[in-house]
Amino acid sequence: MSHMTLTATVPREFVHRAAVAETFLTGWRQTGPDQFTLFGQWPRAHQLHVSSDRSAYEPLLVAETVRQCGALLAHAEYDAPLDHCFVLQELQFTTRPEHLAVGAVPAEPTLDVTVVDIRRRAGRPIAFAYDTAVRLGGERVATAYLAVSWTSESVYRRLRGGRTPANISALPLPPGLPATAVGRALPADVVLAPPERPDRWQLRVDTAHPVFFDHPLDHIPGMLLLEAARQAARVRAAEPGSAASFHAIFHRYAELDRPVWIEATDGKASDLQLVGRQGESTVFECAVDAAAR
């Protein structure tokens, strides 16, 4: 046995996943003060995170893997109790699609993470941000920055005004855009409804979706909003390229029982600027840039 290396995922609870199949990290080690190297494995086929022709890893797989890094480190290294609730505040990442091809075996990314801006209350960390470099076979394939905070379930419940997965229902699903228009194989993975006017789409929130709603939630998850940005960029693109860079800021919880509208404009500093609105409130903003061609 001594010459064999065996791989298993990290505990799914550390990355806030119910499904082991949606757990992409396999281990971690500390390399310095607030510095860590994490290890992962990416499947060669995935409903959402691998292209429909199974040739390429999607940028959102990078985002989800980096998100899992923060959850794992918060629990395993920064004393966040497992029952605490996490809030994603900002996510910025840039991928190099030319290096994200699916190969003959599952890819095994290495993620070098530096934790910054640790906030504490009564001596305990309650928030941090982190920079991540993602490598495959020594080649840097993505970089990311993410900011997250966490709070006890009782405080979270007060913040949410008693809203729980048990007492909040999502709106009925509007019809979706054609799957091919948003670069998806399955109609069930389409998250935008046909526009009632140009560049404005209603978000489709399917709480039965096995990836976005891996477990019941009382709000719309940030990864679903990111996928809406990806799909809107695909609809707007003159040619079907890959949206390679995203910078999202999450302002408030997006509620399941009220419509979310995704609006697109040409960005000043980016190819595309997207805003998600619910009533009079902005729930998130996202700048998207296509791959360099």
CA dist 98 and 109 (Å) reads 15
What order of strands is seen across the sheet that includes strand 200-202?
A: 25-32, 35-40, 110-121, 124-136, 139-151, 85-95, 243-250, 281-290, 272-278, 261-265, 200-202
What residues make up the domain containing 62? 12-158
pLDDT band of residue 3 (cuts 50, 70, 90) is low
Residue with the two structure tokens 């801006």: 117
Residue 186 CB coordination number (10 Å) = 10
pLDDT above 90 covers a percentage of the chain that reads: 85
In the predicted model, is pLDDT for residue 162 greater than 80?
Answer: yes
- Using CA of residue 78, residue 82, residue 84, residue 90, what is the dihedral sign? positive
Whether residues 195 and 208 share a domain: the answer is yes
CA nearest 116: which of 156, 147, 157?
147
**What domain count does the chain have?**
2
User: Which of 137, 158, 179 is the last residue in one of the domains?
Assistant: 158
Whether residues 74 and 93 share a domain: the answer is yes
Residue 187: what pLDDT? Answer: 96
User: Which of 158, 191, 219 is the last residue in one of the domains?
Assistant: 158
CA nearest 65: which of 126, 135, 125?
135
Q: Rounded to two decimals, what is the model's pTM?
A: 0.95
Cβ 24 vs Cβ 38: under 8 Å = no
In this structure, is residue 1 part of a structural domain?
no
In this structure, is residue 2 part of a structural domain?
no
pLDDT above 70 covers a percentage of the chain that reads: 96
Angle between helices 222-236 and 59-77 (to 10 degrees): 160
User: Which of 116, 133, 158 is the last residue in one of the domains?
Assistant: 158
Quick: pLDDT tens for 210-267: 999 999 999 999 999 999 999 999 998 866 666 899 999 999 999 999 999 999 988 7
